[in-house]
Amino acid sequence: MHDFLAPDSIRADQFVYKGARLPYAKFPRDPNGANGVDEVVTQPASTGTFANTSTRAEIANGENQLIAGFIIAGAGSKQILIRGLGPSLAAFGLTGTLQDPVLDLRTETGTNITVNDNWALAANAAQIPANLRPADPRESAIWTTLAPGSYTAIESGKSGATGTGLLEVYDVDSVASSQLANISTRGFVGTGNDVMIGGHIVRGGAYPVLVRALGPSLAPFGIVDVLTDPR
């Protein structure tokens, strides 16, 4: 399993922004058709909460793995489902999908919590609700309870494989004492089908959001090939 772990230095950049309490969603695209690494963001509201955030992007190796950071804010632990999809995206007309996604969940400091390759092989796979189980046995899922804090989920390809993938984080318990916050995604932004596409689900009422698409400001944190003019 250690062959599938991302390098210890790779973590989402949410720790840079966590003091701002801004969850993240994303639709970054370069108006000039350029490529690069980007990250985007969304702001939580008063009456609603985030139920899900997802990002579709081209997944490669190194810093071009798909990296999602999130914070569980509040007093209580939260049941979370993280999914790394690839093969099942072909049913929606996508070509070049990631054929065998691997998920790696880490703490804010980069300590590994768990790794999953093939969701049904997880010891607690039967606990995943039937409607949320990945459609393809090669896809990955992590079903876990997390204490308040900052976390990073990384989707990569087994044995260095590349392709289009989807990384999702679900809040599945609706516990009012804690919620998903500071949701961010960093990944490669290309053109055409390789733009980064993000979405989120809000439940429980209105939820004003701030969406940020970042690129140049990532360079001071050691990211190379940043997206020079995101939109």
Per-residue pLDDT tens digits for 162-196: 999 999 999 998 777 888 887 889 999 999 888 99
Instruction: Compute the average pLDDT of residues 49-78.
Output: 91
With b meaning 16 or more CB within 10 Å and e meaning fewer, what string describes 53-74?
A: bbbbbbbbeebbbbbbbbbbbe
Does a structural domain hold residue 111? yes
Out of 45-49, 105-109, 153-157, pick the least confident.
45-49
Q: Is residue 184 part of a domain?
A: yes
The count of structural domains within the chain is: 1
Whether 174 is covered by a domain: the verdict is yes
* 36 falls within a domain: yes
Task: Read off the CATH number of the domain in which 161 is found.
Answer: 2.60.120.380
Could you tell me which of 184, 185, 176, 190 has the C-alpha nearest to residue 225? 190
Q: Which residue, among 50, 45, 52, 54, has the nearest Cα to 26 in the 3D structure?
A: 54
**Residue 101, helix vs strand vs coil:** strand
Band (38; pLDDT cuts 50, 70, 90) = low
- Domain boundaries, position 157: 2-210
Nearest alpha-carbon partner for 196 in 211, 207, 180:
211
Distance in Å from the first CA to the final CA of the chain: 38
Domain assignment present for residue 220? The answer is no
Exposed/middle/buried for residue 84 (C-beta within 10 Å: 0-12, 13-18, 19+): buried
Q: Is residue 226 part of a domain?
A: no
Lowest mean pLDDT among 27-36, 143-152, 195-204: 27-36
Question: Does residue 218 sit within a domain?
Answer: no
- Is the residue at 219 inside a domain? no
The pLDDT of residue 25 is above 70 = no
> Which structure tokens are listed for 195?
């733009």
pLDDT at 5 over 80: no
Percent of the chain with pLDDT over 90: 57
Q: Is the pLDDT of residue 43 over 50?
A: no
Average pLDDT in the 73-89 region?
A: 95
> Is it the case that residue 152 has pLDDT exceeding 70?
yes
